[in-house]
Amino acid sequence: MNTALPWLKRAVDLVYPRNCRFCETPLTEAERGVICAACLATAKRIEPPFCERCALPFHGAVTDKFTCGYCKDLKFRFSRTVSACRAEGIVRESIHRFKYNREMYYGPHLASWLREAATRWIDWAKVDAIVPVPLYPRKQRAREFNQAEYLAARLSRDLNVPMRNRELRRLKETMTQTALDAKGRAANLRDAFAVRRAGVFAGQRLVLVDDVFTTGATMDSCAKVLGVAGAEDVMALTVARGV
């Protein structure tokens, strides 16, 4: 073992101190990543009760599984959704800095939140593969990575479940979804995705991974083509749920 490495790390920390990216508190050697324990504690996990279809949290004394009013009027092609946290505070900011500013050191935190919810709410013995939501090639080249693929790859490695990141592809360079309502998002994503080979997912139970679930339009568009390609079941899994 190289005993010089701990001393080298300490020397680097003296010159470039490791401070929390949110509150500037110095991080201890035991704190991994770039967010301190106090700030991490502010992340709002999605706890029961929440809608089984879209993971929308609900305030009330509900003990049984339920579908919210929003989902009752929609025919999603995915069976259910698991989201780790509310898309607010440090969770939302970490996603934005990671995705749009390419501040990659937020990635392990996002992957940790995702894994926490994934292992808690999904029976992985009944999952055949993990599929990341694809980016349009030109957008991925500009961004230099796909955040969904990053998260899916970490989850695949940690859970020893194969990732299928080559079969689902994005055909259209759609406009940003941020300013669109649910109807506009669905129209924007119409015919945006396809699979490379017919029947490639025949009989498979899939977990579709993305960073944020808002209206479900992106997940629904992907689940539709995965179903046409033969998937037996598609579950949606995201780091955050817009509320």
What's 27's DSSP letter? Answer: P
Q: Is the dihedral of CA 83, 155, 103, 166 positive or negative?
A: negative
**pLDDT, position 67:** 87
pLDDT > 70: what percent of the chain?
86
- Which of residues 63 and 227 earns the better pLDDT score? 227
pLDDT band at 81 (very low <50, low <70, confident <90, very high): very high
**Quick check: 72 pLDDT over 90?**
no
Cα 113 from chain centroid (whole Å): 9
**Quick check: 151 pLDDT over 60?**
yes
Q: Which helix (H) or strand (E) holds 210?
A: strand 205-213
pLDDT band at 169 (very low <50, low <70, confident <90, very high): very high
**pLDDT, position 3:** 53
Q: Please, are residues 127 and 135 in contact by the beta-carbon 8 Å criterion?
A: no
> Rg (Cα) of the chain, in Å, rounded?
19
**pLDDT, position 180:** 59
**pLDDT, position 114:** 98
Q: Which helix (H) or strand (E) holds 110?
A: helix 107-121
pLDDT band at 198 (very low <50, low <70, confident <90, very high): confident
DSSP for 123-172, please give it.
-GGG--EEEEPPPPHHHHHHHSS-HHHHHHHHHHHHHT--B--SSEEE-S
- Which of residues 64 and 35 earns the better pLDDT score? 35
**pLDDT, position 179:** 59
CATH class of 44-241: alpha beta
Tokens matching residue 211: 């960073």
**pLDDT, position 176:** 65
Give the span between the Cα atoms of 129 and 149, in whole angstroms: 13
Closest CA to 93 of 189, 13, 211, 216: 211
For residue range 110-148, what is the model confidence (pLDDT) as tens digits? Answer: 999 999 999 999 999 999 999 999 999 999 999 999 999
Tokens matching residue 31: 């704190």
Give the span between the Cα atoms of 118 and 114, in whole angstroms: 6
Average pLDDT estimate for 1-23: 62
Give the span between the Cα atoms of 40 and 128, in whole angstroms: 32
**pLDDT, position 65:** 79
For residue 170, list its beta bridge partners: 193
The dihedral over CA atoms of 182, 166, 207, 136, expressed in degrees to the nearest 10, equals: -20
Range of 5-19, 118-132, 171-185 with top mean pLDDT: 118-132
Flag the least confident range among 69-78, 93-102, 179-188. 179-188
Average pLDDT estimate for 6-35: 76
Q: Please, are residues 189 and 214 in contact by the beta-carbon 8 Å criterion?
A: no
- Which of residues 187 and 18 earns the better pLDDT score? 18
Mean pLDDT rounded to a whole number for the chain: 89
What residues does each domain of the chain span?
44-241
Q: Please, are residues 95 and 212 in contact by the beta-carbon 8 Å criterion?
A: yes
pTM (two decimals): 0.88
Cα 103 from chain centroid (whole Å): 16
